[in-house]
Amino acid sequence: MEFYFPTELGERLAFCSAAFTALAGFVMMFAPGYALRLLGLEAREGRPEGFGEARSMGGFYLGFGLSAIMLAQDWIYMALGASFVMAAFARVISILSDKGSNLVNYLLLVVQIALAALPLLYVFGFIQT
């Protein structure tokens, strides 16, 4: 079995979204303190649950991203894009209802929209070449 790297531009963009997801998951899983600080969060002293949650979330991102890379199927890319659409929607709700209107939330919203758009544009045929 050999590593599959896409030849079409649209699939390469979807692949890049999956690769970024896997990379973010890797960082969250193996460097949860750094990931939490980067997101503006912190775990309380003597409470390992915060790090456990960050590692668990990182494992999910890593597994989802690697699955999309290894399987390279339209339905997997669609699931990846739909998941990021819902994450972006949740961030919009947070910005509006939790008084979370700050630069970091807006930057992460743009990242989530981009990570959703890349695989969905490919799956729905908007990027073909």
- Note the pLDDT of residue 44: 78
91 falls within a domain: yes
Q: Indicate if the alpha-carbon torsion angle 95, 121, 9, 19 is positive or negative.
A: positive
129 falls within a domain: no
1 falls within a domain: no
2 falls within a domain: no
- Per-residue pLDDT 10s for the chain (129 aa) are 677 889 899 999 999 999 999 999 999 999 998 998 888 888 877 677 888 899 999 999 999 999 999 999 999 999 999 999 999 999 999 999 998 889 989 999 999 999 999 999 999 999 876
Q: Give CA–CA dist 37/32, Å, rounded.
A: 8
- Note the pLDDT of residue 46: 64
54 falls within a domain: yes
CB 54 within 8 A of CB 104: no
67 falls within a domain: yes
Q: Which domain holds residue 119?
A: 9-124
55 falls within a domain: yes
84 falls within a domain: yes
Q: How many domains does the chain have?
A: 1
